[in-house]
Amino acid sequence: MTATTDATRSRRRPAPLRATVSQRTQLSPHLVRVTVTGPALAGFAYPGPASHFKLLLPAPGTGELILPTPGDDGLVSFDPAAPLIMRTYTARAFRPEVNEVDIDVFLHGDGPASTWAATARPREEIAVTSPRRSGFHVPESARWVAGEASAIRQARTYLVADGRLDRDSVVTRGYWRLGAVNHPDYDDGTGVI
């Protein structure tokens, strides 16, 4: 067992919040908005723009939603060896008065979230974690760079090349990586992948 795996196993977090799909809206040929709702989303503590959460999806083929089991303290450990299907997202919108979250998903082929979003149906069960703060404040005038890790790294390189933008004013996140399962959501585009 590696040190990274040990650290990941020891991190305990609040249990995921169960929700159901209420609506699927095709925004463009490659972008879908999935709206989820449910009473458990009252626990969706949304800290604002650039915060992120984990979307837990049903298993392909069976449609079974596999979630970690909470301990006596109500917390769970996300075991990387468990058959969880998880992806990282930022909420497009959260409406606490009706416990609804909008999730925009890019349709890019055979990835778990892309495949799910392409056919998501009302009343289908999913789960989300309560969002985590991003660690930075987003100015009102800012614009969001997030997506596939390799593309985001190229975008970051372009944006800071030749002094186009100050390196410290560019915040990027590679939420997923083509060909990788459960790519770390903290990939800010500055390290080696």
pLDDT more than 90, % of the chain: 35
pTM recorded for the entire structure: 0.71
**Measured between alpha carbons, how far is 193 from 187 in angstroms, rounded to an integer?**
9
Identify the pLDDT of residue 42.
95
Q: Check pLDDT > 60 for residue 135.
A: no
> Which position has the higher pLDDT, 169 or 6?
169
Return left, alpha or beta for 162; rule: phi > 0 is left, psi -120 to 50 is alpha, else beta: left
pLDDT 10s digits, 73-96: 989 988 777 778 888 888 999 999
pLDDT 10s digits, 12-34: 889 999 999 999 999 999 999 99
Q: Check pLDDT > 50 for residue 149.
A: yes
Domains in the chain (CATH in brackets) are 3-8+19-128 (2.40.30.10), 139-193 (no CATH)
Question: Per the structure block, which two tokens stand in for 54?
Answer: 């984990």
**Measured between alpha carbons, how far is 189 from 151 in angstroms, rounded to an integer?**
9
Full DSSP string of the chain: --HHHHHHHH-EEEPPEEEEEEEEEEEETTEEEEEEE-GGGGG-----TT-BEEEE-PPTTT-----PPP-TTSEEE--TTS---EEEE--SEEETTTTEEEEEEE--SSSHHHHHHHH--TT-EEEEPPPB--SS---TT---EEEEHHHHHHHHHHHHGGGSS-GGG--EEEEE-TT-SS--TT--SSS--
